Structures are given as structure tokens and as C-alpha cells.
Structure 1
Amino acid sequence: MLLVYFMDSPFKRPCFIVNVSADRNRAVRHINWLGIEVKKQWLDSEILIVKSGTDLTRLAKEKADHFDLIVACGGDGTVSRVAGGLAGSDAAFGVMPMGSGNDFAKAAGINRSLPECLEILIRGNITAFDMIRYSGDAQGWSANTIGLGLDGLANYQAGQIRNLKGSSVYIIGLLKAIRQFHGSSITLTVDKETSTGTYLMATLCNGPWEGGNFHVAPGADPADGILELLTIRKIPVFLLLMYLPFFLRGPAAWMRGVKSESCTSLEIESARPLTVHVDGEHISSEIRYLSMEIRKSALKVIH
């Protein structure tokens, strides 16, 4: 039976990187099941158990030299860092979603049960996904979204909440962020077109989802070679709060101060330091300059 399972998969040597800190340390409950199922399927495999603070980008890059499939087992932060290590690599990238939001998994159509995701890995259908390369006051890769200003601060505040999960955590984080951040004078260069204004936030999207249930860029497709940019200028707080429920479906043209547009590159220069997240991971609260651009077909994703 083992031999039959082994021959069903196009991948001979998978490496599973399991972040037991994902989903507020709840991901640990999947380790025994995963070990049993992986041994059934592959004769030669490795399961690495890691915790918060591990340099997953470096680890994934090293493992890509020895394995033909690298699987990120965790939430969006785990997915982002592992994907960053595989950008431009020949190794295929798989996901076992074990986080609270799983935004990348939604974009890839694989936000399913773990047994179903394992079957997806076995079939091995691959699509080349784009990624976002960013540099400036911070540098790295994004697989899904980069949020600056209010978005980044809301994400940071949500990360401080330990006793809740789901979209309610992000909403509480946003309410706290609204009290702290009131906008900054920002110069945006979108595909070489420059403008300046007072903005509350900017979110650059490779995928359509953020914060678990917020459809911030409904038109985003991580395999189409285009990014979607959402910006919100400084508007009254009551308007911002009124808009919030609608972002479960996506921004609308009638929303004052809200703009969605397509692009392939973005530069941001801010008069005030901005809080920034990359794929839901807090990067810094001291960002004044960031350059971001699409890198087409940078990641071989199984979905």
C-alpha cells in the first residue's frame, strides 16, 4: 500500500515545516495526525517542528536545495515567510492551513480541511503565483498583502489580543488603531504616477482577502501579473466606522475617500512613521519609505 501511495504523488521528497505557534498555539494538535499521514504517503520525507521566532525564510531556502516540495503548515505568517524563502526556487510550495485567518489559502482555493489539503498535495497541480518584493526601511517578500498606516496598526493591535480569534479580533484591533492614528501626509508613486495627500492607510494586494474575512481586493488574482491597491484618505471617523461592515464584501465606488486601482509597483514616502504588516505579520512601526513591486510567477504553488 505504501508503494501505491508513493507512486500517486509527483513529489518524491517533501519537507513539512510546522509552526506549532500558529493559531495562538493551537496548531500543535495536528502534529500526530500529520506524522502518520505523511508516512503513509511518502517513503522519504521530513517534518520540522518550529516555534515563533524561527527564521522560516532562511530555513525554507535551505530545504529547497534538498527537497522538491516544501509545505508551510501554519497561518499566514508562516506561509509568507516560507514562501519568501522559495521565491524563484525550483521547489514546489504547498500549504496546510492551520491559522486563524488563512488568507493565502483562500486566495489559492485551498482553505479546506487538512485531509483535503493533503490530497491536493498528492495530486500536485501547480500554478505559478506572483509575489510582492519590498525594500526600503524594511525588505522581504509578501505572498498576499502589505498594509501600511491604519491597516498595519490595526493588525498590530489585533495581535495583542490573546483570548479571541476570527474577524472580531481584527475589528477590535481596528477600533483601537482609529483612536491612535489620524493619518499622515504621504506621497504615493503608483506605476511612476506621483501624488501627495493625507492618508489613513494603503494596502497593496496580491490576493483578495485580509484579516480572515475582509474582502479588501475582490479583483485580486495572485496569478495574473497585476496587484490591487486600496487607499483610504483621511475621512471622518463616523464614515470609517460606517464603511467597516461593507469591507466584508469589498470596497465600493460610493465610499468617499476610498480608492481601488490596479498597478505593478508602488512607492510610499510618509511624513510620519507608519506601522506596517506583511501578510498579517507586524514588520515595524517606524516605516517612512517603502518600495514594492510585483515579481511575476515567482512561486510554484500546489492548489
Structure 2
Amino acid sequence: MDEAEDDVPYLMRGVTRMVTDSSVLISSSEYLNDAELRDWTAYIMLRRNGADDPPETETVDLARILGRVQSRGRIEGLIAEERRTNAAFDAWMSEGFVSTFTLDDLAACPAGSVGRVLGSRIAAGAHGAKLVPAREAKGPYDYVLLRRAQTRWLEHIVAGASFDHFGESTTHFVRLANLFEHLGADLAGELAVFHMLAALRYMPRTVLHYPQVTMTLLQSLTRARRFGIASGPIFSLKYEDVLKLSPEMARTRLGLAAAEDIDTGAASAFWAEALDEAPPRAAINA
């Protein structure tokens, strides 16, 4: 071994870096190759929060960017493949159910029910909650995206997640676990990209700038993983059947398990710099 090789760290010996004539960054990752996604990721992961650029709007840009970066043709091919091997998924896609309930329908639900809780959260403007109206899906993947948008706020209720920033992180992690539990890895991976990036943005920002509420975030993520794995396919739920039921009864009817209600409102408010003092530290329930 010569003196030059002695200076190379052991794990780096024998590693040859590829070279290219390209004058721009290029890799085998379509995600790394996209300049806007690189900028979004660095900005979102490292920034502090501020009212001049509210965190609630961040996933709007993410969805738009991924709509360009991800291959719709590949995803629709994976959907077709999953339908051939997954009878429950095929039945859900074949039915093509779309929610049509209105705010008036929610207001007519009994007090304490899933429907009434959702209606009250929307009326209060909680974390931008709203109803996504029914429309005709433009293909299989668009149908999956439509249902994701229509059910996202109901998932807060059945998962026990607050309508706030950390509650939003919780539901993204629920989806991550649940997709890989009930779909093939390739399709789950494509559908999970949005949830993965949307959820992970909370961890670096919390540790870097709001470490006082890190344990609260970890607690909610631990519960989210447990709920997502223990429950049936969340993406295919038909909430019209349970709008008049309590969250507890709705979970039983829908095949959802291991839900734990957790109020992350104070921690989320501190994280968003709406509170000057952090709430008491929460412990992780493993």
C-alpha cells in the first residue's frame, strides 16, 4: 500500500467517481434531476416557520412538482398490475365511488358524530379543512388522487389526529404505513412519495428550530405507524356509511384499529411560532 492510499479513508478505497461531460447536475434519480424539487426539499426541510409563508401551503407546490416529475404512465401501469393480483383493490377501483355529501349533510349528523365533527372543523376553518366536491376522474391515477383529497380530513378524525400541523404529519405517516401494508411495494412507493416528503418536512425543522416539541412529534408518528399497519386499507374507505356514527363506532365499522386520540394543538402552535412557550414535554408510548 503506498502513502497516497494510506491517506484515503478505509471505506472510500477502491471507489471511483463517475464523470460526465454534462454541464448541469444529472443523476439516475428523476427526483434529484429536478431543480425545483431540489430547491423545495432544501427550503422546506431547513426553514423556520413564518406567517409570510405559511406551512399550510407547502404541499400545494409539492403536489404540482410531483405531478410533473412522476410518470403518470408508469403509475397507471402499476395500478393495472395491482388490480390483477389484488382483488380488494380491483373491486375498489371498479366501483369508482366518489363522495357527494355536503356541509348541510354534515350539519344534520348527530352531535359528536364523524360528520358533525368534520362539519364543525370546516366551519371553524381548522387548518384549512374543506370539502372536495365530486367530479369525474380523468383516469385511474386521477381517481386515486381525487379520493385522497376527499378523505384526508376524515382521516384526521378516525386516526385521532388533531386538525393542526402535527396532526397533518400524523395522517401522512398513517398513509405511508397503510399503503405498504395493503399494496405491492412498487405501487405503494409511487403513491407514498407525496406523503413521505410532506411528512418528513416536519422532522428536520422541528429538531433544528423547535426542539422543545420533538418528543410530541415522535409520539404522534409512533401512533400513526401503529394505526396504519393495524388498520384495513384506508385509501378505499367509504365514509358515507359512518358519518352519523361516533369516531369510536366508525373505526369498528371501517376495520380501523389501534387508534389513539392525541391533541397536538399546543405543540403545533409553538412549532408554527403562534405560541411563545412550548407545552410540557410528552413521552413516547412505544
* TM-score (norm. length: structure 2): 0.25
Greater share of residues in strand: 1
Greater share of residues in helix: 2
* TM-score (norm. length: structure 1): 0.24
Q: Which structure has the larger Rg over C-alpha atoms?
A: 2
